[in-house]
Amino acid sequence: MNKKNILVLCTGNSCRSQLAEGYLRFFSGDKANVYSAGIETHGVNPKAVLVMAEDHIDISKHTSNHVDEYLNVPFDMVLTVCDNANEACPFFPGKVERFHFNFPDPAKAVGTPEEVMDEFRRVRDMIKAYCAGFVQTHLY
């Protein structure tokens, strides 16, 4: 079976798509090449790196990439993780399956530092569950 090329897309490629890229890589193992990008680039959010490290997944080497950098990659699947990216997603040629799930943006969380981190963990856990199911459904 050929490895699938999967792109995770969100607005800034700083939180949600980074979390999803980390989990999709973890759950898919050698079955997929996973990329993430944004309609814009905001840099990888340090809190996203932190909450993933709490779950023993290192995304500290991830970079924030613009979707245009990947227009020549033959993607099999494109997963948008926010409504803005879904609406602004460019056209990818070929037989590309599109998936969409609008996750809340933990970077917009307000409150005490602990409350903000709790929101990052809550969204991380939602994305983890989604990615585990996604891999089981679409890669096995």
Q: Which of 6, 7, 8, 10 is catalytic?
A: 10
Please report which helix (H) or strand (E) contains residue 21, including its range. helix 16-28
**Amino acid found at 27:** F
Sign of the torsion formed by the C-alpha atoms of 97, 60, 124 and 9: negative
CA nearest to 77, candidates 9, 30, 127: 9
Q: Which of 89, 96, 109, 132 is catalytic?
A: 89
Strands 4-10 and 97-100: unpaired
For 134, the 3-state DSSP assignment is: helix
Structure tokens that stand for 74 in this block: 């033959």
Q: Which residue out of 82, 127, 131, 135 is catalytically annotated?
A: 82
Active site residue 10: yes
**What angle is formed at CA 52 by the lines to CA 50 and CA 56, rounded to 5 degrees?**
110
Question: Residues 38, 12: contact at Cβ < 8 Å?
Answer: yes
Active centre residues (catalytic): 10, 82, 89
